[in-house]
Structure 1
Amino acid sequence: MTDAGRAVVLDVIGLEREHVDAGLAPNIAELVPEPARADLGMPFPAVTLPAQSTLATGQSPAAHGDVANGEYDRETDSVALWERDRENRNRLWETASEAGLTTGVFCFQHLIGTSADVALTPSPIEDEENTILEMNCWTNPDEFYDELEADYGHFPLHTYWGPGANETSSEWILNAARESVERYDPDLLWVYVPHLDYAGLAHGPSSDELAEAIGVVDELVGEFLDSLRGDDRWDETAVHVASEYGFHDVDTPVYPNRALREAGLLQVRDDGEGGEEVDLESSTAFAMVDHQVTHVYADEGAVEAAREALSGLEGVEHVLGESGKEEWGVAHPNAGDLVLVAEPSAWFQYYWWRDDADAPFYARDMDIHAKPGFDPCELFFGDEGLVSLDATKVGGSHGRGDVDGFYGVGGPAADASIPDTVDARAVAPTLADRLGVDVDTDFEHDPL
């Protein structure tokens, strides 16, 4: 590829090559001609945080350690989603920033503390019960969010996730990214565009809702591209459009924690408000669910009992032990003792109760911090609370890694063609090669 003075990455989550080829996204199709379109192969598991870390580092989950959206702490018997610190991990924008380039990144996970020159991630001010007291975003530089809020209002968190999720959040993020170009002129700009994810999860890839959402996001991307075309650096710009995964249509929710409870391996306790909370300290096995993937953490003597309890569940295609984790690329200390892979039409829900009257207090609320597993039911309003407990409503899922995302490159500084299929681990080193910086990756590759 030709060297580019500026690289822009648009992570249009849920976009697939067939959507572009079929004309559902005309602005993206105009930017990325057919020889420059590819299927993007994502290493297992194809869920948000592992996929983002792979794209931004050039490493597989077994190397970078993000094997799920959640993280289980064996020492404290605690689980948390979305809360891992950056620690000493460098992603491409941090590497490029340290090399003297100006970098920007918007709404990727684990951005707080990044050294990117301009960065933004939602960070509402909450009380001890995780109740939002005030909307806020963490930004570099500090005053950037106040300036954005003055021009565009507060970040619309209620449209970023939950029953009210829609394109408003994508529009706000792209407006903020456009402001970053005008104010800070980054050499590398990486932008997460979220809202296709909502239609894909709620309604599935075969739905009219997803097709309509593709058209909406394409219009927003088109407006952002028009702003880039009008600035002084367009002639030296290459725009990379990437998507972390595609979706399966699903109709079978699977409940591994119920099976572990029935086998006497998972224990519960009173949550203090009339419901049942999982008692991780007293349990000998627990399943941290994540779309079509589940990590099962078990005491040393309980692994085989957990395997026996889970192997026969309808909707479970694979139960991976040590050799299976090696084969599937998740052999890392953060992974479960067992890893479950769902059948294409199935997905995993965290519930351990049978009667909804026994659900913990947070189950009917939008509380991503309290729930020890990813909950797509948060996309549906409930009859007795904000969030539905009817898992059969969920129409789409992902994680198996067998539905490719999309990758394409366009703009004046892009070459005319790329390989038909691109390994997601090649994205970061290709961008690094353009920008003249080095990244450590865990596979042999040539820049695209």
Structure 2
Amino acid sequence: MTTVGDATAAGRVIVLDVVGLQQDHLGNGNTPNITALLEGGTSADLRPPMPAVTVPAQTTLATGRSPASHGDVANGEYDRETGKVAFWERDRADRTRLWEAASEAGLTTGALFFQHLIGTTADVAVTPSPIEDEDNNLLEMNCWTNPDGFYDDLEAEYSHFPLHHYWGPGANERGSEWILTAARETIERYDPDLLWIYVPHLDYDGQRYGPGTPEFKNALETVDRLVGEFLDFLREDSRWDATAVNIVSEYGFHSVDTPIFPNRALRDAGLLSVDNTDDHGDEVNVPQSRAFAMVDHQVAHVYVEPDALPAARRALKNLDGIASVLETEGKERHNIDHPNAGDLVLIAEPAAWFQYYWWTVEENAPAYATDMDIHSKPGYDPCELFFGDSGLASLDPSKVRGSHGRVDDESLPLYGLGGPAAPELQVTEPVDARAVAPTVSELLGIDLSSTLAFDVPALISQNSTVK
């Protein structure tokens, strides 16, 4: 094993983002392959950013910065000038993440299926980019890739990426299996020094059934088998002896039974504007609203006209399931004090989560409510994981049994480091998610701190110890 701090500590770094994985999933018989990889290395709790949801967590892991700095405060974005809400629609924009900075430093890099990969300068990238009509109906499956033509090759060999098994009522292991197949092809064709891979399988049954259920344990076994097959592939590769494997997760799950409807409360208070249409149900009119809640799992950003703040507080404070309402000081304390954040930020109790509905009678639901339509809905909708009675997606929030977003000791995800080129670390406290990017940078033997302006230092020290 090479020495810690040596610039040759790892010739190659693989990062597997096994979303939903926690430290107590190791050694229980459900994850023998992941457990074996980390037995001779490092495993610890990971403290994610608040909110612990996909985009803020991914951006923090890949930049070493908090949402207060990088500005990704939710899976969606609210434009205060236009009053428009957009979920999952950002491209690379001005982001510089670890794989882009490392590529600029001369390494070969790859990133597979992270959010906002379109336009990345990573040498290898694959991310879904289906061709849709103006109503968001799928016309043709496609992926955006670097280099051009890589998806065509993958599709010819392995068929199209199974989008309907990646999200929605049919979500299952096929999406993760295809991603890991693409990862093997990436290694065989392009041999990257850094490869960052998103493995989403646990997310589905974590939300459908909640943690600790037989269904979730089955999902653990499935994802461990898929990761194990990928690790076996790596062990046969000529660079295995120079490889360090990071296992990271973005969040753990809470068991939930209480949906919260902040937009209904704002509507009842006369703060949320709704247009009643015969053909399209009750459509929220965000630009005309004095307050609107952009919900995202267990966190909701409430955007409020200044003169409506007292009324919004009154409307929301007594809702069952809300643990806290953050304003200026609270947002600063949670490192989410960025202009993109809501004027009020709601955090749910552990057993509760936020649903975007503003109607109370199903017949008044907008047309997209029963569709699997992640771009039209102005809030995250886990009911899309269930078939509905009158459409593809359910309108029954009571079906959702797991959620995430709040940060507490019960739901901390995993950080692990293993493989033949991984240094030995003694970690006694939860790892700050912001430490992952500088740690990967140091494993690669490159200094990216000036490019990425890390908030915290790497885990690796000269004494190989983190206290």
**Does the CA-based 8 Å contact 2:41-2:422 persist in structure 1?**
no
Q: CA RMSD in A?
A: 1.1
Cα offsets for 1:281-333 (capped at 9, x unmatched): 21100000000000000112111211110011000110111111111111000
Higher deviation after alignment, 435-444 or 177-186: 435-444
Cα offsets for 1:317-361 (capped at 9, x unmatched): 101111111111110000000000000000000000000000000
Letter of the 1:74 counterpart: R
CA shift, 1:446, in A, is 4.0
CA shift, 1:442, in A, is 4.9
Letter of the 1:445 counterpart: P
Distance 1:223 1:297 in 2: 46
**Does the CA-based 8 Å contact 1:96-1:437 persist in structure 2?**
no
Aligned partner (choices 347, 357, 362) of residue 351 of structure 1: 357
C-alpha change, 1:271 and 1:110, in structure 2 (3 Å) is farther
Aligned partner (choices 441, 447, 466) of residue 432 of structure 1: 441
C-alpha change, 1:354 and 1:409, in structure 2 (3 Å) is same
The corresponding residue for 2:204 is 198
CA shift, 1:10, in A, is 0.3
| Matched pairs, number | 448
Q: What runs of 5+ residues in structure 1 fail to find an aligned partner?
A: none
CA shift, 1:35, in A, is 5.3
The corresponding residue for 1:405 is 413
Distance 2:99 2:456 in 1: 22
The corresponding residue for 1:49 is 55
- Superposition pairs for residues 145-224 of structure 1, below 5 Å? 145-224=151-230
Distance 1:201 1:271 in 2: 32
Distance 2:274 2:434 in 1: 41
**Does the CA-based 8 Å contact 1:35-1:418 persist in structure 2?**
no
**Does the CA-based 8 Å contact 1:252-1:315 persist in structure 2?**
yes
Aligned partner (choices 433, 443, 446) of residue 455 of structure 2: 443
CA shift, 1:64, in A, is 0.6
**Does the CA-based 8 Å contact 1:10-1:241 persist in structure 2?**
yes
Distance 1:40 1:23 in 2: 21
Distance 1:40 1:34 in 2: 19
The corresponding residue for 1:416 is 424
Say whether 1:8 aligns with 2:18.
Answer: no
The corresponding residue for 1:23 is 29
Q: What runs of 5+ residues in structure 2 fail to find an aligned partner?
A: 461-467
Letter of the 1:347 counterpart: W
CA shift, 1:34, in A, is 6.3
**Does the CA-based 8 Å contact 1:63-1:442 persist in structure 2?**
no
SS in 1 for 2:106: coil
**Does the CA-based 8 Å contact 2:41-2:417 persist in structure 1?**
no
TM-score (norm 2): 0.94
Distance 2:41 2:165 in 1: 35
Distance 2:277 2:242 in 1: 57
Say whether 1:287 aligns with 2:293.
Answer: yes
Letter of the 1:427 counterpart: V
